[in-house]
Structures are given as structure tokens and as C-alpha cells.
Amino acid sequence: MPGRRTIGVDMGGTKLLAGAVDSGLSVHHRAQRRFARLDVSYLFDTVVDAVEETRAGAGGEVAAVGFGIPSLIDQRTGTAVVAINLPLKDVMFADVMAERLDLPVFVDNDANLAALAEHRAGAARGCNEAIMLTIGTGIGGGLILRGELYRGAVGAAGELGHIVIDSGGPPCQGNCPNHGCVEVMASGTALAREALRIAREWPSSGLGRALAEGRELAGPLVTELAHDGDEAAIETLALIGRNLGVAITSLVNIFNPEVVVIGGGVMGAGELLLGPVRAEVAARALPPSRDIVEIVPAAFGVEAGMIGAAALAFDGLRQRAEAG
């Protein structure tokens, strides 16, 4: 008989990934969705549809669902207080989903759960002090401090994408009221913006020709051109990497982590992004933190948040059973 499973759902600013996961964190069925529009009713319907598809293909009993959402979470109530890139504000997310799915539901910030997965079984395994950054539409962050996921006073800690690296920089994205956050300077959205600017400045480059052909200058194309040696694409990734490195420098100086794990779709660029990140940290961070930290890609890649969400659900079920 197949063992008991949970479903992990990783919700991003434009899409979601759901998976049925066993207690060993192996994935048995996946479902993906893109958000064609961003209103709450459509969002909930899309989420429920993806979970039900995953549940049908799980191959075993589904005991609970864990959600990682790009939102500030009040853990006391399971409320999505405010999401930067989704239409969620003061929504009792856990209660709504539990009613819709007729299953126990557990909720946390998406990057927190990516950090949880990487700490349990990925690139931060065995580390007591680790930082996770997820680079997508925005930038999420998770903190492992003294071997535990750190959530702050009510669950809203770890918004590392909203470290300001240029107070005179562009307005941040979505619902963030700030300027010059690393999210607006180094996310996948920033990558597309900078690629457009550089393509216009270098019209004879591969990036410039792609623009002239009407191609979408998003992360996958920029990464492909950079791997092919296009200097404009390489410079775009290096700029994003340098901006990210400035923010990571502050994190390294503050937390003295053993490892900084970077995940999300942008990590398809590999060393073309990580090289400039590491160089910036080496030039800016203080010893001894600078000298011991490793900056590495996520072992679970883009599935880290989904796997962490499933792990959260297993943890939640165990805690309920222990509480009686």
C-alpha cells in the first residue's frame, strides 16, 4: 500500500507548482498552473483545481495540504496579511482553503518553506545558520537560525527581498511602499527590465537582435544568450548578480551564516549569476563572516518551496497529534 502523503503548493507571483510528497520528501505527482489574471476568486479557484488534480494523481492517501505563499503571514491566525505580488490582503487563507479542500491546511511564507526544504534535505543540510533567497517575480527570503526556521514575533520575519540597497532607486513592486529594494533591483522582473534597457543600448548584440525580432526578454532567453556568449546578456546577468551581492553582503555581516542558498527560476543562469554575487560579497563583506560563508544554488531548484510546503504539512499533522 502506498504511504500517507501531503500536498505541497508553492504559489508565486505568476504561477504555482503543486506536488504530492511522501514522508521522505520524494515527489509522486506534480501539477502546474499559471495565473491568467490576478483577482482573489480566480486565484482560489486555480489553487483548488491544481490541488484536486494532484490529489487524484497522488497514488496514496493525502492527509493534508501545505501552502507556501509570497505573503506576510500572521502565524497566530493563518492570515495572509499582505502579499507584494498577489491580490491577498487580510485573507484567512488557511481557513478558506481548509473549507474548500476538506483537508487540514498549513500555511507559511513561500521562501520560509524553501529554506525548510533545503535545511532538511538540500543545500543547507547540517547547517545551523543558513539563509535562503528565492529569485522569481520577486525575491523571497528564509532564515535558519540555530538550526530552526526563524519566523519572528508573529510569523512575518525574513522579508529579505525588501532590504533597501539604493534609497534613490526605482519604486518597489506591487504593494511594497519602498524604493530601491533588492526585489526591484535583482528579481526576475528586474532582469527583464534591465535586459530591455541593455538591448536598446546594444542593438547589434544578440539581446538587441532578439528585441528587434519581438522576442520576450525574460530570464530564460537572457540566460540562453548568455550561455551562448552574448556580451549584452552576460552583462545583464552580472548586473543582477552584483545587486544581489550587495544585499547578501548585509545578510552575511548581520547573521554570519554558514551558507547562503539561492533558488528560483533565475538560477538557470548558474555561475553567470553566482560568480558576480560571490565577487561582490568577497569585496564588501567583513571577516570572518566573509571567509567562511558559502553561496550555493538550491539543491531542489524550483521545487524547493513545494517540497518545503509538504514538509510543513507533515510537521503540522505531527504537532496536532502530539497535542492530543
SS3 content of the chain, % helix, strand, coil (to 5): 45, 25, 30
Helical ranges in 59-205 per DSSP H: 93-101, 110-121, 182-186, 188-201
**Cα–chain center distance at 253:** 22
Kindly indicate the confidence band of residue 13, based on its pLDDT and cuts at 50, 70 and 90: confident
* pLDDT tens by residue, 259-293: 999 998 888 999 999 999 999 999 999 999 999 99
* pLDDT tens by residue, 122-172: 999 999 999 999 998 899 999 999 999 999 998 889 999 999 999 999 999
Ordered by where they begin, the domains of the chain are 5-114+303-323 (3.30.420.40), 127-298 (3.30.420.40)
What are the residues facing 82 on neighbouring strands? 72, 89
What are the backbone dihedrals phi and psi of residue 24, each rounded to the nearest 5 degrees, phi first?
A: -90, 5
CA–CA separation, 300 vs 293, rounded Å?
Answer: 20
* Most distant CA pair in the chain, distance: 68
For every residue of 181-246, DSSP letters joined together read BHHHHHSHHHHHHHHHHHHHH-TTSHHHHHHHTT---SHHHHHHHHHTT-HHHHHHHHHHHHHHHH
* pLDDT tens by residue, 15-72: 899 999 999 999 999 999 998 877 888 999 999 999 999 999 998 799 999 999 988 8
